[in-house]
Copies of this chain bind each other. A is one copy, B any other.
Amino acid sequence: MSSILKKCNELGLKMTDQRKVIVEVLSNSKDHPDVELVYKRASEIDKNIGIATVYRTIRLFEENKIIEKHEFKDGRFRYEEVPDEHHDHLIDIRNGKVIEFQNDEIENLQKRVAQQLGYELVDHRLELYGIPIKDKK
Contact = CB atoms under 8 A, between A and B. Distances in A.
A132 to B, nearest CB: 6
Task: Give how many copies assemble into the complex.
Answer: 2
Contact of A114 (B90, B113, B121, B123): B90
26 contacts: A71-B71, A73-B123, A73-B125, A90-B117, A93-B122, A99-B119, A101-B113, A101-B117, A103-B109, A106-B106, A106-B110, A106-B113, A114-B130, A117-B130, A119-B131, A119-B132, A120-B133, A121-B128, A121-B129, A122-B130, A122-B131, A123-B128, A123-B129, A124-B126, A124-B128, A125-B126
A125 B127 CA distance: 5
Nearest to A102: B113
Contacts of A129: 121-125
Interface residues of A, number: 34
Contact of A133 (B101, B115, B133): B115
